[in-house]
Structure 1
Amino acid sequence: MATSAHAYVRGNTLKFYEWLDSAGTTLPEGPSIWICGDCHVGNLGPIANARGKAKIQVRDFDQTVIGNPAHDLVRLALSLSMAARSSDLPGVVTARMVEQIAEGYESAFDPADELQEHTRPDAVQVALKSAQQRTWRHLAEERTQGKTVAIPLGKRFWPVSGKERKAIRELFDDEVVSALVARLKNRDSDAKVQFLDVAYWMKGCSSLGNLRYAVLLDVGGQASTGQDICLIDVKEAIKAAAPRAASAGQPRDNGLRVMDGAQRMSPNLGGRMAAAHVLGRAVVLRELLPQDLKLEFERVDQREAMRAARFLAHVVGRAHARQMNEAERQRWRTELGRGRRSSLDAPAWLWNSTVDLIALHERAYLDHCRRYAMETLAVGDVEALLN
């Protein structure tokens, strides 16, 4: 999180909702639908369906709730704006990006408005092409260093206790879980699912303190013969920080909540998930497919920034629009335009929210870096004294 301001924004969802709760900013109130809840650039990318066909969709639903779609739009605007600032782009580019975000999002509510292939930003084109060319061998090399019979322990994969291993074994005895594994990639529905290995997966700082496992399975004897790999991500479904609508009838079980949100917003991903419990805690399971990638916008030029803003906002808009009827879509489009100025096409509420959040996160990022530097210095001082 100390590597850049953009990385800090990606890793600090709570800061966003603290602002939302305390700033008193008036956002338009959209229809109560499933939202991502953490709609930053890294949470969009190519997602494969059960047959391996990839589309750009939302790819993370830890924070999903039935809530206000405006929250996703503001979070995306913040993420893209910070990516632009990390790329040393001038402030006028940020202003134009927010315009493109508003236009791209609103266009998603017009069924006749489809983004054409040539409008995709380069990062999206590259990611889609790469996704369609990838095979399970790429996944094995990235996730398990090419080994398909055991997970190599080290920096990313840590050993589990006997109690954890037993609980994971029992999890894959469940018929629902076995059916999820068998139906992907046109596997035989009656294929035998054999447990091979499990490790705690240190995926990032958000994993610590929560359940997160990489599970290696052999489906129909394919992994042991080098023909296929089945790597399952078992992730604890934590309580969402995103506020839900007061009248929302969403599941109380966090695993079911995450799965429901994914099914509504990203059919490719939602169709590949299952909710369960491990050691009394709610988890979500999904098989990792080679085509699943995250988008990278670490360094962008002005042209790429404009195209990315419009395209990704359109993707999020589509995920929202498919949950609304025609009357709701029309009302929401009208509400989105509230507060437009002739000098700036983006609605005032979106622009002002983005500016406030940039200022808040810039300061919080620098405070974070200062603490990080002080802690690093303290460790270095101790080591110097010991030596």
Structure 2
Amino acid sequence: MTTAKSTIVPFPALSERAAILNDKRVRKMARSAHAYVRGSTAQFYEWLGEIDQGSVPAAPSIWICGDCHAGNLGPVANASGKVRIQIRDLDQTVIGNPAHDLLRLGLSLSAAARGSNLPGTATAHMLEEMIRGYQDALAGHDESLSEARAGKAVRSVLDKATHRRWEHLARERLEHVEPKIPMGKRFWPLADEERQAIETLVTSAKVADLVRSLHGRGEGQTVKVLDSAYWVKGCSSLGTMRYAVLLRIGGEKSDRSYCMIDIKEAVDPLAPVASTMPANLDQAERVVNGARALSPYLGERMVQGRMLGHSVVVRELLPQDLKLDVDQLTVEEAVHAARFLSAVVGHSHARQMTEDVRRAWGTELATHHGRNLDAPSWLWTTIVDLIGTHERAYLEHCRSYALSASERPA
């Protein structure tokens, strides 16, 4: 009887990671027009700068997401396990113009609609509903966040999230419930200096206290690093430092619990920054401050830190945190999703504004409407221009990737 040979997976050396991760990012962005939106934050602001000739209104300077595409919204759980749809990725958060979040979301939903082969009329209705949902949020209408208004596509993800437990996260991320991170396509082994730096960071008082404070864990419980790995995750963030850490809380078997920690490098933001943004703000502190302003459920589970000379954000991953997939939508789902998600963004913006500021910003949004179109003309015109620019850039990206792939050795 012959015994099958075990396959040894080659992992890149520390010096080889950047090139491999960049190739993965380029390949991911070529998969679809919507995937290209997710990975092209820098290009988005370049396009906007070329298109905007003063048409985008000046709005009150507040914390904005800065990269408000649909994939960066989804179910998020707070420390006690309550789940809401909120902004779930704040890497690009800055104090800036909230209109930029509306434009980024509009472009993302429009790309998803085109990827779902929906007619152009669907995009027109989506943008109309987007502005209605946002204005409802500014007016303080809490019913705009009702699950009944979310649409089937959003409700199904929210329902799935509320029923998830640690076992689901373990099987999804770890491929089993045993406390070990499996090395493979998603997780790579660490260099010794990375492993030591993670141990120092995660067992520091700030991070250990965060882990103990969540879910009613005891203050005196021990926090032990069981395993850690480099995490190949995301699209625009591929190439920056990203680590997954498996922790055990408590020593006695009966009192033990496990959790996963995400360590993510905080880099300079790409979104335009308002003059009111504090100078010399540490990048990880920027992300945490923005998260606490925009997405309290997520912000309360995050702290900033330093690792290997880099600014990093540390957060506990919860099984309820899911990505919202809007790549395949019907017209009805697209319209409902547009209104609901813009209301989520609107509530995140509105909670930072006084009543007078909310009213003034709402009035600004209500002006400049076309005769037969509810969306403001600046929103419609800018997004239409962005869609055209995005389509050209996406096809050029695909062509460039195809040519480079054909030149690689077989």
What TM-score does the superposition give when structure 1 sets the normalisation length? 0.95
CA drift of 1:250 comes to: 6.2
Amino acid of the structure 1 residue aligned with 2:210: L
Amino acid at match of 1:241: L
Structure 1 window deviating more from structure 2 (238-247 vs 62-71): it is 238-247
Separation in 1 of the partners of 2:331 and 2:322? 24
Correspondence for 1:201 among 231, 235, 248: 231
Alignment of 1:45-194 (within 5 A): 45-115=74-144, 116-194=146-224
**8 Å Cα contact 2:190-2:229 kept in structure 1:** yes
Q: Who is 1:19 aligned against?
A: 47
Equivalent residue letter for 2:175: Q
Matched, 1:376 2:405: yes
Structure 1 Cα separation of the partners of residues 155 and 202 of structure 2: 37
Number of the residue aligned with 2:332: 303
Distance across 1 between alignment mates of 2:104 and 2:281? 25
* Structure 2 residue matching 1:286: 3-state secondary structure: strand
Q: Is the 8 A contact 1:51 1:184 kept in 2?
A: yes
Structure 1 pair 271–78 and aligned structure 2 pair: CA distance change class (3 A): same
Relative distance call for 1:164 and 1:66 in structure 2 (3 A) is same
Q: What's the offset of the Cα at 1:251?
A: 5.8
Q: Which residue of 1 aligns with 2:63?
A: 34
Extract unaligned runs of 5+ from structure 1: none
1:37: how far off?
Answer: 0.2
AA partner of residue 149 (structure 1): P
| SS, match of residue 15 in structure 1 | helix
- Distance in 2 between the 1:251 and 1:147 partners? 43
Cα offset for 1:378?
2.2
Deviation at 1:211, TM superposition (A): 1.1
Asked whether 1:322 is paired with 2:345, we answer: no
Unaligned runs of 5+ in 2: 1-28
Which range moved further: 43-52 or 335-344? Answer: 335-344
Q: Please give the per-residue CA displacement for 1:149-173, whole angstroms capped at 9, x wherever unaligned.
A: 3211111111111111111111123
Taking the aligned partners of 2:339 and 2:157, their CA distance within structure 1 comes to 17
CA distance in 2, matches of 1:258, 1:51: 22
Secondary structure, in 3 states, of the residue corresponding to 1:206?
Answer: coil
Q: Which residue of 1 aligns with 2:277?
A: 248
C-alpha change, 1:113 and 1:161, in structure 2 (3 Å) is closer
Question: What residue is the counterpart of 2:72 in the other structure?
Answer: 43
1:210-269 C-alpha deviation (Å, 9 max, x unpaired): 2110011110147x7796321000000010000110232266100000000000000000
Change (3 A) 1:211 1:226: farther
Q: 1:175 to 1:113 in 2, by over 3 A?
A: closer
**Kept after mapping to 2: 8 A contact 1:148/1:229:** no
Q: Which deviations, in whole Å up to 9, do the C-alpha atoms of 1:309-350 show, x marking residues without a partner? A: 100000000000000000000110011123111211110000
Range that drifts further, 16-25 or 269-278: 16-25
CA displacement at 1:208 relative to structure 2: 3.8
Kindly state the Cα deviation for residue 113 of structure 1 after the two structures are TM-superposed: 4.9
Distance 1:321 1:96 in 2: 24
Distance of 2:208 and 2:142 partners within structure 1 = 40
Tell me: CA distance 1:189–1:37, structure 2 relative to 1, closer, same or farther (3 Å): same
- Match of 1:371, SS state, is helix
Letter in 1 for 2:157: A
- The question of whether the paired residues in 2 share the 8 Å contact of 1:66 and 1:248 is answered with yes
**Does structure 2 retain, via aligned residues, the 8 Å contact 1:275–1:284?**
yes
* Residue 197 to residue 113, structure 1, CA distance change in 2 (3 Å): closer
Please state how far the C-alpha of 1:117 moved relative to its aligned partner.
Answer: 2.8
Is the contact between residue 48 and residue 386 of structure 2 (CA under 8 Å) also seen in structure 1? Answer: no
Higher mean displacement: 225-234 or 268-277: 225-234
AA in 2 matched with 1:269: L
Cα distance in 2, alignment partners of residues 6 and 57 from structure 1: 20
- Greater CA deviation, 66-75 or 20-29? 20-29
Q: Which residue of 2 aligns with 1:4?
A: 32
Q: Pick which of 226-235 and 44-53 moved more.
A: 226-235
1:346 aligns to what SS in structure 2?
Answer: strand
Determine the C-alpha separation between the residues in 2 that align with 1:280 and 1:32: 31
Distance 1:332 1:267, change over 3 A: same
Q: Hey, what's the Cα distance between the residues in 1 that align with 2:312 and 2:161?
A: 27
Q: Which amino acid aligns with 2:217?
A: R
Q: Say whether the 8 Å CA contact 1:140–1:229 is kept in structure 2.
A: no
